[in-house]
């Protein structure tokens, strides 16, 4: 049909990761590509209350929201040690610093098939880097810069990108 816009499905193999931490010398510490991302999740607890004398129904109340832990695997980042420096700064920080200074903001953007526009942006607020794993050292393999990293976060927001059809 002439003039009708093509709608592409969301693809999960084309995404970008950016992390910013204000308490370090370098604010933007990661602009990377990873082959896997898992743990973008929100779960809302539900509390059930029984009303006395009403045996036919129950009352459901919304409870607190819990968030997952993001795991990124097999990633390439610019040649720097900023992620390692962030991890080191966290382990040496005072508890007061961990409440704010060394918590990051991670943005995971799902891109259009051509990689030019964002479809969806997951913004992870107040992140801590809880695992950072280097790849195995082997002269015969084409290793990646980061084998695995995990981020814990306090809150997640989801934003529409410029490449999404409204």
In-domain check, residue 165: no
CATH number at residue 137: 2.30.110
* Count of domains forming the chain: 1
Shortest CA distance to 112 belongs to which of 8, 35, 24?
A: 8
pTM of the model: 0.78
| Residue 114 confidence (pLDDT) | 78
Domain-located, residue 9: no
The answer to the question of residue 65 being in a domain is yes
Reading the chain (166 residues) residue by residue, the pLDDT tens digits are 455 544 444 454 578 899 999 877 767 888 778 888 999 999 999 999 988 888 889 999 999 999 999 999 988 776 678 888 888 888 888 777 667 788 999 999 988 877 778 889 999 999 999 999 888 777 666 555 788 999 999 999 999 876 555 4
Tell me the C-alpha distance between 120 and 117, whole Å. 9
HEC letters along 88-144:
HHHHHCCHHHHCCCCCEEEEEEEECCCCCCEEEEEEEEEEEEEEEECCCCCCCCCCC
Contact 123, 92 (CB under 8 A): no
């Amino acid at each position: 049909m002439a003039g009708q816009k093509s709608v592409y499905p969301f693809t999960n193999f084309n995404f970008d990761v950016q992390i910013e931490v204000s308490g370090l010398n370098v604010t933007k510490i990661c602009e990377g590509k990873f082959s896997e991302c898992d743990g973008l999740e929100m779960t809302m607890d539900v509390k059930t209350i029984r009303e006395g004398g009403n045996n036919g129904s129950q009352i459901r109340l919304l409870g607190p929201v819990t968030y997952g832990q993001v795991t990124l695997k097999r990633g390439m980042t610019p040649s720097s040690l900023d992620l390692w420096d962030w991890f080191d700064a966290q382990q040496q920080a005072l508890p007061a610093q961990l409440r704010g200074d060394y918590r990051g903001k991670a943005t995971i953007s799902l891109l259009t098939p051509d990689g030019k526009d964002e479809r969806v942006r997951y913004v992870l607020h107040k992140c801590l880097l809880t695992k950072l794993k280097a790849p195995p050292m082997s002269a015969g393999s084409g290793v990646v810069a980061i084998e695995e990293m995990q981020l814990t976060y306090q809150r997640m927001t989801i934003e529409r990108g410029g490449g999404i059809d409204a």
